[in-house]
Chain A
């Protein structure tokens, strides 16, 4: 009599733990999916602006052809990207190229005065910021998921229901570290 009660209590605790952990994993997975689609939408928005930007800048910056090519290349890289790492790579190439472009644009007063360029710059710097925050949010949710998937006892439930660890939105560290440090003036003086 006594032992059946104890057994029943243990069973109830186990079932509750499974339900709770499962729901938590599902919630975290949805959060990560949403955070990733946020990054995706923003990257789309940014690269949609690239042809317009290149057209606007082309006439003014005869000597910066390489820079413009780098930006266009980043867009192609992104269009062909399928994995998280490829996406992150394209994101980083574009971020660096755009930063250099806006830094260099300081030397072209005519360009700085161009209405269309000013609008594009504000929009692109804004998107850059949003991507940075979207990336940060995604990586935090990934960290939470990976911790849950690896820690006991959620790792058992994760294995049972096929929850897997996820990849961070980042390029391999060596490449990231070699990124040149460029001071961006655009957003500072606002």
Chain B
């Protein structure tokens, strides 16, 4: 039981490192083209390098703050939410890990996620709807699933991937702007070099979008969810709690959900955009999560 988890933790750290490496290469490339654009390649690469270092530090040390802000979650204390606090504390004891910070998202759609860089610096966020709809055993199952993600270092990889993926969107927006205004400022050489750069920028933007999508998939694999479900069942010793919670949560995802967000959807225990495309076969194929029925079936077979 111990060994697959340790393998998992090592794999997650390796993947996080690889993700940073990939981004470093990407930024060097972007810096190179910006360098050509402003006429000095070294300056371009140094600029991109600085931006990368800042992003690196933010995603590692402040990733959970970025994610909770994106999700609209607010931190709560024990006095405000004793029931939730007690439940999270119980599961942190079961996992033998420090107590994570607790956040609440004020929406009636039930869902939950975890973020952070390691078990000492992590958060668990749940929606108000989750607390209102689940009984104690079910809530324990969900919190145990999130504790499992924290325990397995899934949160590190997911948090970093979300912050970095978010910046890629930002960069591609800037690149598109440059395409529009790039031609105006420069004088004589516009027709030659300017044209070339526009084409290159276009290519980069075209390449970036699928990479962005792929990275999120890479970070949030289906195997990971099964693994977290299994670990959660091990923590609580009661798989039925999580199974029944998954059924409830899945049935109550709504169209145009207030927590729907492309960058964050893989983080939640159940994909929030499920309500928008139920019945669509492709959604199962391209989903970041395994279908809930399959997860429930596996939990009940334990």
Q: How large is the interface on A (under 10, 10 to 19, 20 to 34, 35 or more residues)?
A: 20 to 34
Do A123 and B82 touch (CB < 8 A)? Answer: yes
| Chain A positions 156-190 with a Cβ under 8 Å from a chain B Cβ | 187-190
B128 to chain A, nearest CB (A): 13
Indicate the member of A35, A129, A132 with the most B CB atoms within 10 Å.
Answer: A129
Digitize A67-100: 1 where CB-to-B-CB distance is under 8 Å, 0 elsewhere: 0000000000000000000000000000000000
Do B82 and A35 touch (CB < 8 A)? Answer: no
Q: A31-B96, A35-B96 are in contact. Are A133 and B135 (CB under 8 A)?
A: no
Do B96 and A129 touch (CB < 8 A)? Answer: no
Do B83 and A38 touch (CB < 8 A)? Answer: no
Do A130 and B136 touch (CB < 8 A)? Answer: no
Taking CB atoms, residues of chain A closer than 8 Å to B93 are: 38, 42, 130, 133-134, 137
Q: A31-B96, A35-B96, A187-B136 are in contact. Are A133 and B86 (CB under 8 A)?
A: no
B274 to chain A, nearest CB (A): 25
Taking CB atoms, residues of chain A closer than 8 Å to B36 are: none
Pick the residue among B83, B90, B96, B235 that contacts A190 (CB under 8 A): B83
Is A155 an interface residue when CB atoms closer than 8 A count as contact? no
Do A129 and B90 touch (CB < 8 A)? Answer: yes
Q: A31-B96, A188-B135, A188-B136 are in contact. Are A122 and B83 (CB under 8 A)?
A: yes
Q: How far is the CA of A190 from the CA of B135 in the complex (A)?
A: 5
Is A126 an interface residue when CB atoms closer than 8 A count as contact? yes
Do B90 and A130 touch (CB < 8 A)? Answer: yes
Taking CB atoms, residues of chain B closer than 8 Å to A31 are: 96
Do A189 and B96 touch (CB < 8 A)? Answer: no
Indicate the member of A42, A187, A188 with the most B CB atoms within 10 Å.
Answer: A187
Q: How far is the CA of A118 from the CA of B86 in the complex (A)?
A: 14
Q: How far is the CA of A122 from the CA of B90 in the complex (A)?
A: 13
Interface majority SS (helix, strand, loop, mixed), chain B = helix
Q: How far is the CA of A125 from the CA of B87 in the complex (A)?
A: 10
Pick the residue among A38, A130, A134, A136 that contacts B86 (CB under 8 A): A130
Taking CB atoms, residues of chain A closer than 8 Å to B89 are: 126, 130
Q: How far is the CA of A72 from the CA of B89 in the complex (A)?
A: 26
Digitize A10-51: 1 where CB-to-B-CB distance is under 8 Å, 0 elsewhere: 000000000000000000000100110010001000000000
Do A133 and B91 touch (CB < 8 A)? Answer: yes
Q: How far is the CA of A189 from the CA of B135 in the complex (A)?
A: 6
Taking CB atoms, residues of chain A closer than 8 Å to B237 are: 136
A145 to chain B, nearest CB (A): 13
Digitize B57-100: 1 where CB-to-A-CB distance is under 8 Å, 0 elsewhere: 00000000000000000000000001100110111011010000
B95's nearest neighbour on chain A, judged by CB, is A137
A5 to chain B, nearest CB (A): 32
Indicate the member of A38, A123, A132, A133 with the most B CB atoms within 10 Å.
Answer: A133
Taking CB atoms, residues of chain B closer than 8 Å to A188 are: 135-136
Do A133 and B82 touch (CB < 8 A)? Answer: no
Pick the residue among B82, B94, B96, B139 that contacts A122 (CB under 8 A): B82
Taking CB atoms, residues of chain B closer than 8 Å to A187 are: 135-136
Do B94 and A137 touch (CB < 8 A)? Answer: yes
Point out residues on B near A: beta carbons under 8 Å: 82-83, 86-87, 89-91, 93-94, 96, 135-136, 139-140, 235, 237
Point out residues on A near B: beta carbons under 8 Å: 31, 34-35, 38, 42, 119, 122-123, 125-127, 129-130, 132-134, 136-137, 187-190
**Between-chain CB contacts (< 8 Å), 9 pairs:** A35-B96, A122-B86, A126-B82, A126-B86, A130-B90, A132-B90, A133-B94, A137-B93, A137-B96
Q: A127-B86, A130-B89 given; name 5 further pairs at CB < 8 Å.
A: A122-B82, A122-B86, A130-B90, A187-B135, A190-B135
